[in-house]
Structure 1
């Protein structure tokens, strides 16, 4: 099983290949900022399954969670900050390689990427966030693949 560096490399490979494929098929036009953001989401997805254990990946992921949560608090978005805090605690409920290492978690965990814009801005906002959902799922898939879950 690869460590956090191996999962980051795997996530980066899948991010680049996914974006190249999407551009070649004409599914999406990616500017550099969006490409960097999609890569970031893919890398977070690649790290997420190991947030249930003390690891460097956990430290990186929770540093991002803390920064986003602090931003929400500064912007007085207390309800959203509370929800983020609640969801950030869920991986600690089970043992390592528990629910975070399942195919259904790969699809379910990133759903807030779609649900939050839906709740805030309505149905028209979802289409802009679908690539970010797919990027997170792709990174998550790369983690599960490298851990041998699909062998």
Structure 2
């Protein structure tokens, strides 16, 4: 099975290819800074399916979640900190190459990138500006799917 470097490269290649096609077709160009963020999201999402095992991806994600939880607690956002902790445990609720290696997880796991920002930063839940967050969601889906394709586990 591919290692974390291969998964990182695969996520970057798939996302960069998608951005390149959209740019070439004249459909979308985010600018260099946003493109870098989108590629970083795709790279991180390409590591996510392996958070259910001792891996570089697991260390990266749980380190980031720990820092995020500390920040939420420091700012008195205890409910959000509890929810983050709850969702951080979900990969442990299955075996390796279990639910984290399914096509539906590739669509569901990145949903917070699409749904939470409008809810947190906009008084109208999923108001007219929700589409601004769609590129981040799609970048995460691309990275996640690249992992599943490389592992040959794109299953239901």
- TM-score of the two chains, using structure 2 as the length reference: 0.88
- TM-fit CA distance, 1:82: 2.0
Q: 2:7 is matched with which residue?
A: 7
Matched, 1:61 2:61: yes
Render the CA deviation track for 1:98-147: whole Å, top value 9, x for unaligned. Answer: 00000001101111112212423122331111000000000000000000
Q: Indicate if the aligned counterparts of 1:4 and 1:56 stay in contact, CA closer than 8 A.
A: yes
Q: 2:86 is matched with which residue?
A: 86
Match of 2:145 among 130, 141, 145: 141
- TM-fit CA distance, 1:150: 4.4
Q: 1:26 is matched with which residue?
A: 26
Aligned to 2:129, the other structure's residue is in SS state: helix
Q: Indicate if the aligned counterparts of 2:101 and 2:154 stay in contact, CA closer than 8 A.
A: no
Larger CA deviation: 35-44 vs 129-138: 35-44
Structure 2: runs of 5+ lacking an equivalent = none
Render the CA deviation track for 1:71-110: whole Å, top value 9, x for unaligned. Answer: 3333333322222221111000101000000000110111
Q: 1:112 is matched with which residue?
A: 112
In the TM superposition, structure 1's runs of 4+ consecutive aligned residues that sit over 4 Å from their partners are none
- Across the aligned residues of Structure 1 and Structure 2, the Cα RMSD in angstroms comes to 1.7
Between the two proteins, the alignment pairs up a number of residues equal to 151
- TM-score of the two chains, using structure 1 as the length reference: 0.91
Take 2:87 and 2:116, find their aligned partners in 1: how far apart are those partners?
A: 13
Take 1:103 and 1:45, find their aligned partners in 2: how far apart are those partners?
A: 13
Take 1:67 and 1:128, find their aligned partners in 2: how far apart are those partners?
A: 26
Aligned to 2:110, the other structure's residue is in SS state: coil
Q: Indicate if the aligned counterparts of 2:10 and 2:147 stay in contact, CA closer than 8 A.
A: yes
